[in-house]
């Protein structure tokens, strides 16, 4: 057993290990550069060793030679382990195993105390640093996916000509799809939930700070592996990569599978962390009735992610073993079942929509009382909506398989469950509209984004009802109508909601005031481009245009030209919005602690927020949305003043 000493931590004397050397130890030498060196180095070593050990003619009984696959897989595993070691992800557990656990000074160093901007390039445990890191990673992945979207629309805007080869076009479709899914899943749950939620509930950090940092860097690992697929033949089977066709794809399929496996670990770790933090670290007096609605949204999304993502992960692990080790989970020739893959995939595929939608909606419900200066309309109704979505999200997956022939008798029960989930989603929209009713709106960018999201969500919701109906789905299945629908939900509601949240919390997260004039121009430009792009896709879908096609009949020329023009308008708007964010972050006016006059705890801390968030943990005595509701002590004082006035008048 190692020797211990005592130290004062937040005013309490606690026992801790003896400090050896400078605080931080080896972590002082580790950063993203050493992570890249470790990842690339171990990937190269793993590739060379595997190539030397595996005969070039090695193959499975069913598919193509696996030697290149094994080399690529070894490099992916090497990259994952090497980067994690190089960034310092395993330092804490290793020190504990060696009996030299981290001291309080070590923990402060890992939290980035006094490190300045350097802490953003290290394995840093402070939830606020992790939130900013998530924001940057989200922006990079979103930009990568958006670039692929522009290339896709460029191809579809040119009639009867191939700007790109069919293989590369298919790769862009699949890579764009999964990149945007990953980006949208972390759009709110990464930056805003990590930075804001612990402060919002009166905590000093997340429940598991090191796991919090690990979840972020695993996303970086996964993103690099996804990009690597473009150099290994690309993901040519769409983002759903149905089996057994995907088992015959280029080696890039292994990159996709490892991306999903690693990203699922990241989401699992992050979900557990968020759930435990919300359950156990709320401030004294913060009962569930006094907990902000954003916490409910994050909690609900984390629950959905925790149970749904493992299905997707399992499907990719099984597909990987089918390809490499000749198992037969999905190969019908060897007794496997393609239905197993489709069910596992879609058991994630639809809860994932609500993992994106619920946090974005919750953040709008969080900011609306601030700019309308009135309590949230039916707080309990909003909670019922979130609970209803979480409960029903696991009962709708099979509506994606109406046309496959799997279990036809199940079609109508799943049609009912899919239509039922529109009810709790409708609850959330009604709460938003009810909160706006007779409100005196302080017209700022965050609240203007609410109007855009409500508009998009209504279109996405109504068109979703058509797709949930079996007879209508027979016509719309696999068409551009479906593409337009899910973009209205994922981008129209999810992304625009995340942009509203960023505009709202920008002063607290960056310490600067956002240039709302420029950001608003970018936001509304993207909104207009969005309507042009996907309204035209609805038209193409109604005309019968299938999705994922390189060339199409001249009947679809006009809607495709219009969609391409709209897509470039979206790109322009997003660039303007990003420019406003970057310029404001660099040179914007310094933000006060509470520029919007909010009552919730995150706005009661100084800006920039101190390392420990609160010098003294707060005590909560009222609900978070008592705007326009007089404090009971103020009522008593008003009554006393009134009595004095009456007495004065009487004496005169």
Can you spell out the DSSP letters for 102-137? --HHHHHHHTTTT-GGGGGGS----HHHHHHHHHHH
- DSSP strand pairing (12-17 vs 4-9): antiparallel
What would the pLDDT profile of 525-553 be if each residue is shown by its tens digit? Answer: 999 999 999 999 999 999 999 998 888 88
What pLDDT, on a 0 to 100 scale, did the predictor assign at position 367? 96
- DSSP E strands in 10-166: the ranges are 12-17
Q: Using the predicted structure, report yes or no on whether residue 334 has a pLDDT greater than 90.
A: no
Distance CA 629, CA 637 (A): 15
Q: Using the predicted structure, report yes or no on whether residue 371 has a pLDDT greater than 70.
A: yes
What pLDDT, on a 0 to 100 scale, did the predictor assign at position 64? 44
User: Whole-structure pTM over 0.85, yes or no?
Assistant: yes
Q: Which two tokens stand for residue 345?
A: 């995939």
Burial label for 552, CB within 10 Å (0-12, 13-18, 19+), is: middle
Best CA proximity match to 566, nearest among 545, 596, 612, 535:
535
When pLDDT is cut at 50, 70 and 90, the band that residue 57 belongs to is low
Q: Using the predicted structure, report yes or no on whether residue 350 has a pLDDT greater than 90.
A: no
The mean pLDDT value for 444-462 works out to: 95
Distance CA 342, CA 344 (A): 6
Is 63 a member of any domain? no
Distance CA 218, CA 181 (A): 16
Distance CA 474, CA 187 (A): 33
Q: Which comes out higher in pLDDT, residue 643 or 294?
A: 294
The mean pLDDT value for 207-222 works out to: 97
Cross-strand pairs, 590: 512
Is 647 a member of any domain? no
Least confident of 6-20, 434-448, 635-649: 635-649
The mean pLDDT value for 218-229 works out to: 97
What pLDDT, on a 0 to 100 scale, did the predictor assign at position 271? 97
What would the pLDDT profile of 24-51 be if each residue is shown by its tens digit? Answer: 889 999 999 999 999 999 999 999 999 8
Is 542 a member of any domain? yes
Taken as a whole, the chain contains a residue count of 652
> Angle at which helices 191-200 and 127-156 pack, to 10 degrees?
150
Least confident of 488-492, 547-551, 607-611: 547-551
Q: Using the predicted structure, report yes or no on whether residue 77 has a pLDDT greater than 50.
A: yes
Distance CA 342, CA 410 (A): 15
Place of tokens 């009947």: 555
Distances (CA, A) of 413 to 195, 416, 470, 649: 41, 5, 10, 73
Rounded CA Rg of the chain: 26
Average pLDDT, the chain: 90
Place of tokens 């089996």: 243
Place of tokens 């996907």: 534
Q: Are 356 and 262 contacting, i.e. CB atoms less than 8 angstroms apart? A: no
Distance CA 275, CA 5 (A): 33
What pLDDT, on a 0 to 100 scale, did the predictor assign at position 116? 92
Distance CA 410, CA 399 (A): 9
What pLDDT, on a 0 to 100 scale, did the predictor assign at position 4? 59
**Which runs of consecutive H residues, i.e. helices, occur in 397-495?**
411-420, 422-436, 445-468, 470-476, 480-487
What pLDDT, on a 0 to 100 scale, did the predictor assign at position 8? 58
What pLDDT, on a 0 to 100 scale, did the predictor assign at position 60? 47
Is 105 a member of any domain? no
Q: Which two tokens stand for residue 111?
A: 């939290």
Q: Using the predicted structure, report yes or no on whether residue 604 has a pLDDT greater than 60.
A: yes
Backbone angles phi, psi at 157, to 5 degrees: -85, -10
Sorted by sequence, the CB contacts under 8 Å of residue 70 that are 6+ apart come out as: 50, 54, 58, 324
When pLDDT is cut at 50, 70 and 90, the band that residue 13 belongs to is low
Q: Which comes out higher in pLDDT, residue 393 or 5?
A: 393
Is 44 a member of any domain? no
Sorted by sequence, the CB contacts under 8 Å of residue 91 that are 6+ apart come out as: 25, 26, 27, 30, 123
List, as own/partner pairs, every contact residues 276-280 make where C-beta atoms lie below 8 angstroms and the sequence separation is at least 24, other chains included.
Answer: 276/207, 276/208, 277/197, 277/198, 277/201, 277/203, 277/206, 277/207, 278/197, 278/201, 278/302, 280/207
Distance CA 204, CA 111 (A): 12
Number of domains in the chain: 1
Residue 5 CB coordination number (10 Å): 12
Q: Are 278 and 295 contacting, i.e. CB atoms less than 8 angstroms apart? A: yes
Best CA proximity match to 362, nearest among 120, 595, 187:
187
What pLDDT, on a 0 to 100 scale, did the predictor assign at position 37? 97
What pLDDT, on a 0 to 100 scale, did the predictor assign at position 553? 86
What would the pLDDT profile of 185-205 be if each residue is shown by its tens digit? Answer: 999 999 999 999 999 999 999
Distance CA 334, CA 420 (A): 39
DSSP 375-392: --TTHHHHHHHHHHHHHH
Best CA proximity match to 459, nearest among 482, 481, 488, 430:
488
When pLDDT is cut at 50, 70 and 90, the band that residue 245 belongs to is confident
What pLDDT, on a 0 to 100 scale, did the predictor assign at position 21? 73
Best CA proximity match to 422, nearest among 471, 469, 377:
469
Q: Are 188 and 142 contacting, i.e. CB atoms less than 8 angstroms apart? A: no
Q: Using the predicted structure, report yes or no on whether residue 647 has a pLDDT greater than 50.
A: no
Distances (CA, A) of 187 to 134, 135, 359, 499, 527: 8, 8, 9, 9, 18
Is 171 a member of any domain? yes
Place of tokens 């009222």: 622
Q: Using the predicted structure, report yes or no on whether residue 495 has a pLDDT greater than 80.
A: yes
What pLDDT, on a 0 to 100 scale, did the predictor assign at position 18? 74
The DSSP code for 7 is: E
What pLDDT, on a 0 to 100 scale, did the predictor assign at position 202? 96
CATH number at residue 377: 1.20.210.10
Is 117 a member of any domain? no
Q: Residue 8 belongs to what H/E stretch? A: strand 4-9
Q: Using the predicted structure, report yes or no on whether residue 180 has a pLDDT greater than 60.
A: yes
Domain holding 499, by residue range, is 123-594
Is 417 a member of any domain? yes
Place of tokens 């308008």: 569
Q: Using the predicted structure, report yes or no on whether residue 101 has a pLDDT greater than 90.
A: no
Place of tokens 């003896």: 18
When pLDDT is cut at 50, 70 and 90, the band that residue 643 belongs to is very low
When pLDDT is cut at 50, 70 and 90, the band that residue 633 belongs to is very low
């Amino acid at each position: 057993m190692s020797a211990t000493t005592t130290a004062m931590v937040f005013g309490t004397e606690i026992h801790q290990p003896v400090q050896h050397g400078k605080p931080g130890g080896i972590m002082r030498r580790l950063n993203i550069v050493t992570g890249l060196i470790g990842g690339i180095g171990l990937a190269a070593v793993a590739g060379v060793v595997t190539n030397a050990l595996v005969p070039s003619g090695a193959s499975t009984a069913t598919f193509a030679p696996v030697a290149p696959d094994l080399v690529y897989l070894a490099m992916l595993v090497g990259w994952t382990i090497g980067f994690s070691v190089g960034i310092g992800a395993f330092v804490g557990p290793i020190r504990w195993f060696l009996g030299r656990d981290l001291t309080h000074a070590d923990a402060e160093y890992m939290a980035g105390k006094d490190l300045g901007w350097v802490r953003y390039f290290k394995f840093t445990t402070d939830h606020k640093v992790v939130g900013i890191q998530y924001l940057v990673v989200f922006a990079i992945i979103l930009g990568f996916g958006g670039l692929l979207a522009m290339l896709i629309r460029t191809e579809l805007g040119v009639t009867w000509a191939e700007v790109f080869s069919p293989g590369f076009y298919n790769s862009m479709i699949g890579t764009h799809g999964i990149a945007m899914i990953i980006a949208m899943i972390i759009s709110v749950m990464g930056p805003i939930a990590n930075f804001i939620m612990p402060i919002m509930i009166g905590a000093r950090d997340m429940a598991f700070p090191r796991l919090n940092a690990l979840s972020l860097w695993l996303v970086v690992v996964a993103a690099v592996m996804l990009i690597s697929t473009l150099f290994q033949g690309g993901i040519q089977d769409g983002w759903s990569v149905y089996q057994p066709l995907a088992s015959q794809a280029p080696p890039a399929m292994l990159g996709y599978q490892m991306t999903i496996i690693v990203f699922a670990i990241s989401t699992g770790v992050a979900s557990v962390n968020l759930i435990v933090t919300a359950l156990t670290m709320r401030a004294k007096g913060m009962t569930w009735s006094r907990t902000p609605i954003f916490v409910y949204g994050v909690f609900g999304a984390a629950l959905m992610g925790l149970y749904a993502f493992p299905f997707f992960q399992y499907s990719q692990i099984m597909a990987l073993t089918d390809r490499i080790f000749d198992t037969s989970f999905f190969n019908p020739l060897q007794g496997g079942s393609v239905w197993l893959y489709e069910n596992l995939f879609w058991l994630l595929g639809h809860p994932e929509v609500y993992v994106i939608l619920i946090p974005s909606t919750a953040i709008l419900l969080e900011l609306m009382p601030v700019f309308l200066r009135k309590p949230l309309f039916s707080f309990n109704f909003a909670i019922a909506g979130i609970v209803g979505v979480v409960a029903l999200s696991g009962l709708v997956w099979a509506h994606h398989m109406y046309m496959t022939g799997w279990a036809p008798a199940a079609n109508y029960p799943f049609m009912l469950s899919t239509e039922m989930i529109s009810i709790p989603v409708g609850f959330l929209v009604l709460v938003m509209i009810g909160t706006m009713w007779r409100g005196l709106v302080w017209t700022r960018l965050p609240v203007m984004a609410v109007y855009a999201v409500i508009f998009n969500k209504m279109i996405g919701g109504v068109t979703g009802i058509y797709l949930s109906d079996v007879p209508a789905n027979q016509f719309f299945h696999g068409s551009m109508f479906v593409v337009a629908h899910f973009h209205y939900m994922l981008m129209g509601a999810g992304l625009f909601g995340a942009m509203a949240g960023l505009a709202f919390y920008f002063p607290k997260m960056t310490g600067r005031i956002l240039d709302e004039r420029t950001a608003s121009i970018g936001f509304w430009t993207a909104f207009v481009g969005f309507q042009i792009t996907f309204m035209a896709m609805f038209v193409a879908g109604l005309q019968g245009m299938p999705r994922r096609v390189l060339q199409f009949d001249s009947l679809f020329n006009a809607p495709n030209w219009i969609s391409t023009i709209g897509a470039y308008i979206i790109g322009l708007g997003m660039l303007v919005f990003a420019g406003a964010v970057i310029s404001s972050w660099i040179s914007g006016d310094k933000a006060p602690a509470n520029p919007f006059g909010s009552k919730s705890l995150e706005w009661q801390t100084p800006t920039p927020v101190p390392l420990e968030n609160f010098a003294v943990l707060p005590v909560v005595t009222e609900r978070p949305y008592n705007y326009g509701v007089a404090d009971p002590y103020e009522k008593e004082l008003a009554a006393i003043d009134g009595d004095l006035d009456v007495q004065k008048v009487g004496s005169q």
